[in-house]
Structure 1
Amino acid sequence: MKKAFFTLTTTILMVTLFAVSAFASPEKENGNDWVRVLIESTNEQAKNQAKEKYDVRHDFGKQGFSTNVTEQQYEALQKNKNLNVTKVDKVSLVNQPQATGERSSTPSDQTPWGMEAIYNDDSITATDGGDDIRVAVLDTGSKTDHVDLEENVEQCKDFSRFFFSRVDGSCNDINGHGTHVAGTVLADGGADGEGIFGVAPDAKLWAYKVLGDLGMGFSDDIANAIRHAADQGQEQGVKVVISMSLGSSGEDSLITEAVNYAYNNGALVVAAAGNDGDGEDTIGYPGAVENAIAVAALEDVQESGTYRVADFSSRGNPATAGDYIIQERDVELSAPGAAIASTWNDGGYNTISGTSMATPHVSGLAAKIWAENPGLSNTDLRAELQNRATANDILGGTSAAEGDDYASGFGFPLAQ
């Protein structure tokens, strides 16, 4: 498995966890140092013996299985010529550009500029839509009792605990990022009607905590959560949008295969393009995976008659621009991502920026369109998003150009 480093693609606080903490000290328990490993083998007998000896955290079939072992056990496993044993990639918060924080008991604007933009209505006072659609937000968890979210929570699961593969009924968000993303997708204004609104306030939230309180986690947990969301959709006979505001400069095979699995099983996968700036080929994974929709971030600034792609927003592959065909490392869509107000884990609100904030705009729009057109498949839905984006081309920002460009992709899809 190729090493990769996964991060939340947001722009809130200035942090320094990006490179230094990529492989931080392993977990400690009972005096032992523990590490997460992936065990692969073409020798079925050797692999089965390893499964019997170590607890299987996640079984990925031909890709192997993950488990926790002590450092001493890891060193011993590396000497087994019948097994290929590698450390599982660590996930961490990204180093973020400066942003302005704003918290209050009630929002200063119930329909922030992103809602006005995606609904193409400067005077909108409330949003609607998303009935019977599930949006799995894979993030730092969610404040499920936030007044603007609590009526929409259907699942709350924690995949991030080191010694437990999944804990149902738990998704506490100490970080705040996941609560913010969830609010942009489906905040409903609260029972009193005084809160903030997301794009699809009638959708149901599956809050999947895949990153810990410091924004760190493991790629096998993310991959397992992606597969779990797709399986839940199949088992319950419901439509699922998987929203991931996280990313990496390098590809991780476990996550890529999980994205492909989910897409092939009817889910729509939406992921952040990344915050690595306006240089060519800066797009991150899993957004860069062909079966995921990569979302770039727009600013509330008009340039060349359209919204402007933010300078921090990652760009795709210029070699494949202009063809209106999505390939690996292509930006597909763009949406509001700069200075976005949404729900926060203190029960109030916060304004932050990043492609993390653009992603849930598209995830919410996908839920809204799917609810309005329940006969669409996930591939049909993706085509509809592309068509709406093409009809609303983005010309502002570095490398943005007429048609399919590598800054804004097909453009900015609208709700109406």
Structure 2
Amino acid sequence: MRRKRLMAVFASASLALVPFLTAAPSASAAAQTGGYIVVLKDGAEPSSVAAEQTKARGGTLRHVYRSALKGYSARLTAAAAARLAKDPRVQSVEPDREVSITAQTLPTGINRIDAELSPTAKINGIDERVDVDVAVIDTGIQLNHPDLNVYTAGARNCSTGSSANDGNGHGTHVAGTIGALDNNIGVVGVAPGARLWPVRVLNNSGNGTWSQIICGVDYVTAHANEIEVANMSLGGTGTEGTSCSSSSLRQAICNSVNAGVTYVVAAGNSYANANGFVPATYPEVITVSALADFNGAPGGGASPTCRSDQDDTFADFSNYGSDVDLIAPGVCIYSTYIGSSYATLSGTSMASPHVAGAAALYKATHPSASPAAVKAALQSAGNYGWIWPSQDPDGIQEKLLNVSTF
């Protein structure tokens, strides 16, 4: 059984300041009972004064404060609170207010692929983590981001330095789309709480070499008995070749796939045929193009947000062609970022992790499924519910990722 890694999650709350009660309420409001916070002046003993004042005004004492301030909270009618404000021992009477943890955002991409309907994802604000391991082959991941379940023991740096901590932000953003925690803060990912392995192959500028990427693939393959899915939101020019031995990179990925790891990769952002880019052109991987979606809903018509494009259509930068296996949201995607923060980014780099998260959901319930079976399942569950052929020049409509049944 896999070891579960737990991390502390902190949520913040804020209380808006309101004017102190200085005037008598209307007659209709005077009889309504509500919560009030009473601050006493120096010299007043909180316990005895609180009990006396509350009883005299027919209220219910709740809390007595002795350290952070001198005072108490009570349930009172509005008329009683108004009278209490005139007591010479009282500094202020303030209506009580509700507070809550900072709300979690359901990103448009997560909404568009119906991840909130997935019985495995169980997106409900409760931190129940999907039991699956995903390698993020990228710029690293912020190792201590409070909204991510980063498996730091599995970190590997094939780029510069020794730490797999993210110095760019790209990898952390990708990681959040895959598996940000369902913890009522920040955002939530497709496979909430999935264990994320930071495999750094790119430097702080987002650049690297094929040898570094192969180093990352080699590391993932060495842990193929633990890692089910790997995301590669990166690429460069190149061709498929005629077989797995056509190039060292393809050979490495073929061997990793044969070891059982499902690879999901970005199609590229050159608005060109993906057959001129690697690893996007490799048949062993799941290649993902980008959908422009601004409101998380089908049908089009939503106004652009972070960049210009047409809602619910093929993104105007995305690569295309017969090598593309699925399309997923990739425009104005809100996700985790370095500095324990959040950011909005666009690209097929943002589309790919939606599919990697979907693959993780499927593997969580089908642990013996081969990479080919995972690809087939994701394609079978997809739909054509997006506007086509606008901006898609290849005459092939890819299925849009959907995980509602996963």
Range class of TM-score, shorter chain: 0.5 to 0.7
Q: Is the 8 A contact 1:127 1:201 kept in 2?
A: no
Mark the CA change 1:239 to 1:346 in structure 2 (over 3 Å): closer, same or farther.
closer
Mark the CA change 1:359 to 1:108 in structure 2 (over 3 Å): closer, same or farther.
farther
Q: Show the 5 A alignment for 1:284-299.
A: 284-299=277-292
Q: Kindly report the root-mean-square deviation, in angstroms, between the aligned alpha carbons of the 2 structures.
A: 3.0
Equivalent position of 1:58 in the other structure: none
Q: Is the 8 A contact 1:274 1:282 kept in 2?
A: no
- Which residue, out of 388, 399, 402, partners 1:413? 402
Superposition deviation, residue 378 in structure 1: 2.1
- Which residue, out of 260, 269, 284, partners 1:266? 260
Equivalent position of 1:249 in the other structure: 237
Equivalent position of 1:194 in the other structure: 185
CA distance in 2, matches of 1:256, 1:109: 39
Residue 349 of structure 1 aligns to a residue whose secondary structure is strand
Mark the CA change 1:373 to 1:156 in structure 2 (over 3 Å): closer, same or farther.
same
Does structure 1 residue 133 correspond to structure 2 residue 121?
A: no
Letter in 2 for 1:273: A
Mark the CA change 1:157 to 1:372 in structure 2 (over 3 Å): closer, same or farther.
same
Aligned residues: percent identity? Answer: 35
Q: Show the 5 A alignment for 1:1-40.
A: none
Mark the CA change 1:268 to 1:406 in structure 2 (over 3 Å): closer, same or farther.
farther
User: How many pairs align?
Assistant: 283
Superimposed CA distance per residue, residues 390-411 of structure 1 (whole angstroms, 9 cap, x where no aligned partner): x44544353659xxx7665333
Superimposed CA distance per residue, residues 37-88 of structure 1 (whole angstroms, 9 cap, x where no aligned partner): xxxxxxxxxxxxxxxxxxxxxxxxxxxxxxxxxxxxxxxxxxxxxxxxxxxx
Mark the CA change 1:113 to 1:195 in structure 2 (over 3 Å): closer, same or farther.
same
Residue 278 of structure 2 aligns to a residue whose secondary structure is coil
Superposition deviation, residue 131 in structure 1: 3.2
Q: Is the 8 A contact 1:141 1:209 kept in 2?
A: yes
Equivalent position of 1:376 in the other structure: 369
Q: Show the 5 A alignment for 1:184-223.
A: 184-190=177-183, 193-223=184-214
Letter in 2 for 1:346: G
CA distance in 2, matches of 1:127, 1:274: 35
Letter in 2 for 1:147: P
Mark the CA change 1:414 to 1:292 in structure 2 (over 3 Å): closer, same or farther.
same
Letter in 1 for 2:314: V
Equivalent position of 2:321 in the other structure: 316
Q: Is the 8 A contact 1:107 1:196 kept in 2?
A: no
Equivalent position of 1:387 in the other structure: 380
Mark the CA change 1:282 to 1:266 in structure 2 (over 3 Å): closer, same or farther.
closer
CA distance in 2, matches of 1:199, 1:209: 22
Superposition deviation, residue 299 in structure 1: 1.2
CA distance in 2, matches of 1:271, 1:281: 11
Residue 201 of structure 1 aligns to a residue whose secondary structure is coil
Mark the CA change 1:204 to 1:406 in structure 2 (over 3 Å): closer, same or farther.
farther
- Which residue, out of 301, 307, 316, partners 2:312? 307
Q: Is the 8 A contact 2:136 2:198 kept in 1?
A: yes
Superimposed CA distance per residue, residues 304-348 of structure 1 (whole angstroms, 9 cap, x where no aligned partner): 89931111111114xxxxxxxxxxxx1100111000000111111
Which ranges of structure 1 fall in alignment gaps of 5 or more residues? 1-105, 318-329
Mark the CA change 1:176 to 1:147 in structure 2 (over 3 Å): closer, same or farther.
same
TM (norm. structure 1) is: 0.62
- Which residue, out of 114, 118, 132, partners 1:119? 114
Relative contact order (C-alpha < 8 Å, sep 6+): which is higher?
A: 1
CA distance in 1, matches of 2:300, 2:342: 32
CA distance in 2, matches of 1:283, 1:393: 28
Q: Is the 8 A contact 1:333 1:408 kept in 2?
A: no
Q: Is the 8 A contact 2:191 2:357 kept in 1?
A: yes
- Which residue, out of 339, 345, 358, partners 1:365? 358
Q: Is the 8 A contact 1:309 1:407 kept in 2?
A: no
Equivalent position of 1:227 in the other structure: 218
Residue 188 of structure 2 aligns to a residue whose secondary structure is coil
Q: Show the 5 A alignment for 1:62-73.
A: none
Q: Is the 8 A contact 2:134 2:230 kept in 1?
A: yes
Q: Is the 8 A contact 2:147 2:181 kept in 1?
A: yes
Superposition deviation, residue 107 in structure 1: 8.1
Residue 246 of structure 1 aligns to a residue whose secondary structure is coil
- Which residue, out of 339, 342, 349, partners 1:356? 349
CA distance in 2, matches of 1:274, 1:107: 35
Does structure 1 residue 396 correspond to structure 2 residue 401?
A: no
CA distance in 2, matches of 1:251, 1:127: 45
Letter in 2 for 1:270: V
Larger radius of gyration: 2
Equivalent position of 2:158 in the other structure: 159
Which ranges of structure 2 fall in alignment gaps of 5 or more residues? 1-100, 118-122, 241-246, 302-310
